[in-house]
Amino acid sequence: MKRAIYILLLILIFSGCEKKEEIVKSSGQFKQLTLAEFNNILKSHSGKVVLVNFFATWCPPCRIEIPELITISKEYKDKNFIIIGISVDENGEEAVAPFSKQMGFNYPVFLTTSELNTTFNIDAVPQLFLYDKNGKLIINLKGYVESKELKAMIDKLL
């Protein structure tokens, strides 16, 4: 039964609309992000520094880091910079929807897939990936990173 539900969910995900970057759909559902969609998002932000944050709602360091990322997103909103959040929560939307409301994300938040977890070797959260304006991965940071340190890295790339 679980397998049938999983297959049905995959079909629904792959037959979804073409919009690649969406924080919350009008129905309140968070989108699972495939590797191809991630790559398209990265390409669509060519010329911008991109910070990707893998997080979990239950992770204490993530709960400290996310408000700092929200502040960074506000501070850099008029610069060539974007943050993308990707939740690794097993409960998906059930966990992320109330957490998102509580945190007040001001950047796109998606749900991970096993494909993304494998590709990015997600074995701990938070985990940050910083890309330069050409879409080249500059650094992979595991664990909490202070906003001062993170802003210094972003400033070098801007």
CA distance 120 to 144: 17
Residue for token pair 């539900």: 5
3-state secondary structure of 63: helix
The structure's pTM equals 0.80
**Strands 81-87 and 49-55: what pairing?**
parallel
The catalytic site residues sit at: 59, 62
Residue range 19-157 in CATH 3.40.30.10: yes
**pLDDT (tens digit per residue) in 13-71:** 333 322 223 333 323 478 899 999 999 999 999 999 999 999 999 999 999 999 999 99
Cβ(150)–Cβ(126) under 8 Å?
no
